[in-house]
Amino acid sequence: MIEETGRVLSVEDGFAEVETIRTSSCTACRARHGCGHHAIAQVSSANRMRMKAIDPLSVKVGQDVVIGIPEDSLLQASIWMYMVPLLGLVVGAVLPSLWGGSSGIAVVFSVLGFLIGLFFARKKSIQESHNLDYYPKIVKIASLDHEKGHHRIPLVVTP
């Protein structure tokens, strides 16, 4: 499960609106200097993200929570959003070469294939918009100890 910490902004009907601060693992990555994602993360000012999360714990506004989404759900969504349009583009580019079409026709078909792939990805997105498997879920409340006034004292063991 992929987890992220956020703060509850509002609560309604078994769901909570959670705001997370996008963190990037780019600083620990060796390939960060040649990576486009790192460059975009450095200049992007929109590092806050709001999302609707399933609330099985009855959280309250202002609490810090840990939200999670299963890796397989993220993988399935990524395949639909990235691979289907890309596959349409490739099929559209290859199709004219089967009958000896020109490169201009291949470009037009590749664009059409990409757009058809985007259409199917969008259709799947709308179809699955109410599927709770694709929603993040609140896994635990992170700020529970601070609200009750408890402070954890580290256990020190001496030989």
Query: How many C-alpha atoms does 8 have within 13 Å on its Cβ side?
Result: 28
Q: Where are the domains of the chain?
A: 2-30+43-148
Residue 29 DSSP code: -
pLDDT at residue 128, rounded to an integer: 87
CA-to-CA dists, residue 149 to 62, 152, 154, angstroms = 15, 10, 16
| pLDDT tens column, 33-64 | 666 555 555 655 556 788 889 999 888 998 89
Whole-structure pTM value: 0.61
Take residue 24 and report the two structure tokens written for it.
Answer: 């990037």
- CA separation for the pair 25, 2 (Å, rounded): 13
